[in-house]
Amino acid sequence: MVAEIKAILETVSDPEIPVLSVLDLGVVRNMSKEGDAVTIQLTPTYNGCPAVDAMSMSIKLALLSAGYKTVHIETVLSPAWTSDWISDEGKQKLKAYGIAPPIGKSLYPEDMENLTPPCPQCGSEETTLVSAFGSTACKALFRCISCKEPFDYFKCH
């Protein structure tokens, strides 16, 4: 049964980065089925993440549409989500979508200035930070010196 639930969750996209499923993003902590009830434990990418309500609703609708009668979504805040939980496939999807996947494990903002993530467009490592804040709170804005294209970088958490 868990395999069936997992297959359904693969179809549920992150509302901020639709190329990633909630499983790719690593926000689904646990899933279980007892009788007619399915319980999904979900960890937001950060406390106060505006996408968590949309994710919860999308997960619930997908499971109800698949015939499950009762769906419980539990928010789990500890341990906190980390970008280490993004699957390898998810990192490849980010890159193909034009977002540089997270590098390393640093949480210090000052480390962002020394970071040179490879450009997801041309692969060059000659990149520069434009802003520590990108199109969403989880991303920073970089520019490739080689191809001159701006791109989002998914920050380490």
For the domain 2-81, what is the CATH code?
3.30.300.130
Check: CB of residue 30 under 8 Å from CB of residue 41: yes
For 54-81, what is the mean pLDDT? 96
Check: CB of residue 102 under 8 Å from CB of residue 115: no
In the chain, where does the domain assigned CATH 3.30.300.130 lie? 2-81
Q: What is the pLDDT of residues 4-24, one digit of tens each?
A: 999 999 999 999 999 999 999
Q: What is the pLDDT of residues 91-112, one digit of tens each?
A: 999 999 999 999 887 666 677 7
CA 93, 98, 104, 108 torsion-angle sign = negative
pTM reported for the whole predicted model = 0.88
pLDDT attached to residue 118: 97
Q: What is the pLDDT of residues 76-90, one digit of tens each?
A: 999 999 999 999 999
pLDDT attached to residue 123: 96
pLDDT attached to residue 109: 66
pLDDT attached to residue 106: 64
More confident residue, 26 or 114: 26
DSSP for 99-119, please give it.
Answer: EEPP-S----GGGGGG--PPP
